[in-house]
Homo-oligomer: A and B are copies of this chain.
Amino acid sequence: MKIPFNKPYLTGKELVYIEDAVKKGKISGNGYYTQLCQDFFENKYGFHKCLLTTSCTDALEMAAILINIQEGDEVIMPSYTFVSTANAFVLRGAKIIFIDSRTDHPGLDEDKIEALITPKTKAIVSVHYAGVACDMDKIMDLAQQYNLFVIEDAAQAIDSFYTGKDGAQRPLGSIGHLSAFSFHETKNIISGEGGMLAINDSQFAERAEIIWEKGTNRSAFFRGEVDKYGWVDVGSSFLPSEIIAAFLWAQLENLDAIQQARVSHWEKYNRELQNWAAKNEIQLPVIPSYATNNGHIFYLVCKNLEQRIAIIEKLKSKNIISVFHYISLHSSSFYNQIHQERPLTESDRYSDCLLRLPMYYELDVLNIVKNLKNEY
């Protein structure tokens, strides 16, 4: 039997709620289940305002519109990230300034940000790789000093936390001015495709709703705040169908159980592989003291590309699927001319050496560990 890298987990209520949404006679966006999901996130994590989107990509695009990215603005983000992190800003005319990853984990190297800031810099995008927090105090301090916006790319970071200098533990996605989450089927909490914009800086709340509703003040109209609605701004159709929101709601009801299972799998991997990893010069995930682990990804950093290829093949021979992750965006065919020569060696190392082991709710970790140790 094949062990996939990812297997979407169903709580059992998804189809029940979809059926209910359909019966309610409203399956376009911004209905009953959308509201339930948005309220859930606002209440549980203290985000100022949440808006479901059709993808995390769309949430990032909304962020780029909200901070008014113009042609030539510079946006600092890690090179070791998903293409959408960059595309959302490129679509608005930004130049992406790619930053290297840390030596101890694939997240951006906070200490290298300041040297990249210029008068054109408009924002920093803090991608919380594998749900592990960037050092947000450092990033927010720089943002304040240089008057920049901080967008948290929290695609992988649901239910993960950051403890700042003040000792307070804050949910990821609640710290930057705006944050984007993903509910893609590969994430902890899923709706097939799907995402959410969390708005923490209240100055953006009203306009976010307008942009979300295709550039109209329809939401304000339905609340009775204006007496007719019309075209007041740019915008798009960022809101997902109620079918998607109903699916998501079934997942959110089970968030704690899902998180518990995934974190437990992660800890089992981490415990069982310590000696094996050390023996093979493989780096296991590092969780800085200010961060938590949300069980999103369990990865190995192999000593080189050859080792990674060998492990992928060995596992594949046992019908276990392991996968690498991003290819550095700064070296892509689309952007290497613009990025020019500045080397990002850590990002390239993770591109070559990082390997993700299977991770999903119904997973037998010990079986994978056993095979891994037997084969390599």
**Residues of A participating in the B interface, judged by any CB pair closer than 8 Å:** 4, 7-8, 10, 14-15, 18-19, 22, 25-29, 54-58, 61, 71, 82-84, 86-88, 90-91, 184-186, 190-194, 214-216, 228, 230-237, 239-244, 247, 327, 329, 332-335
Contacts and interface: CB of A to CB of B under 8 A. Distances in A.
A228 B332 CA distance: 11
Contacts of A216: 83
A330 B236 CA distance: 18
A18 B215 CA distance: 31
Given A58-B237, A83-B235, 5 more contacts: A8-B26, A10-B22, A54-B58, A232-B332, A243-B247
Contacts of A236: 55, 57-58, 61, 84, 87-88, 91
B57 A214 contact: yes
Contacts of A25: 4, 7-8
Given A231-B83, A240-B54, A329-B231, A215 B334 contact: yes
Contact of A87 (B15, B18, B214, B240): B214
Nearest to A16: B15
A37 B317 CA distance: 36
A88 B186 CA distance: 29
B57 A27 contact: no
A28 to B, nearest CB: 4
A54 B237 contact: yes
Contact of A18 (B18, B184, B242): B18
Instruction: Choose among A4, A19, A231 the residue with the greatest number of B CB atoms under 10 Å from its CB.
Output: A231
Given A14-B22, A216-B83, A192 B231 contact: no
Given A83-B235, A87-B234, A192 B28 contact: yes
A150 to B, nearest CB: 22
Given A237-B84, A240-B54, A327 B26 contact: no
B29 A241 contact: no
A9 to B, nearest CB: 10
Contacts of A243: 18, 191-192, 243-244, 247
Nearest to A10: B22
A327 B83 CA distance: 38
A85 to B, nearest CB: 10
Nearest to A90: B234
A334 B234 CA distance: 8
A193 B57 contact: no
* Nearest 4 A/B pairs, CB to CB: A192-B241, A57-B237, A27-B192, A231-B332
Nearest to A243: B192
Contact of A192 (B4, B84, B192, B242): B242
A171 to B, nearest CB: 24
Given A22-B10, A332-B232, A27 B185 contact: yes
